[in-house]
Amino acid sequence: MAAATAITARQGNDSFRGVFSDTWEVVCTLNSASVADQAAGTDTVAVPGVVLGDMVLGLSAGVSEAGLVRRAYVSAANTVTIATTNTTGAAVDLAATTIKLVIARMV
């Protein structure tokens, strides 16, 4: 699959003082490869400062996900992985889209 491009990130803990010591708001452009039926793929997003144990609280895409199942997680320092699983019965090739992520670190 592909790495995300056009990444912008804002770091801070404005909204969740006392619960999270840091948060990241990430917006990037992602053009995933086609995912075959009953297959999975991954894409990565470079997010400076995240570490294993940080939580991805939310992920949204600017296109219909056409029945695909997506989840995001911190897979290494400075890296978030977006895993895509296809159980639709046919290959799916999503258009390039804007992905938004919210990532947090517990106190």
Average pLDDT on 4-12 reads 69
pLDDT by residue (tens digit) across 48-80?
999 999 999 999 999 988 899 999 999 999 999
User: Structural domains in the chain?
Assistant: 5-106 (2.70.40)
pLDDT by residue (tens digit) across 28-45?
999 988 999 999 999 999
Q: How big is the CA angle at 48 (ends 43 and 53), to the nearest 5 degrees?
A: 75
Is residue 15 over pLDDT 70? no
Q: What is the DSSP letter of 63?
A: S
pLDDT given at position 6: 63
Quick check: pTM over 0.95? no
Length of the chain equals: 107
From 35, 34, 59, select the one nearest 45 (Cα to Cα). Answer: 59
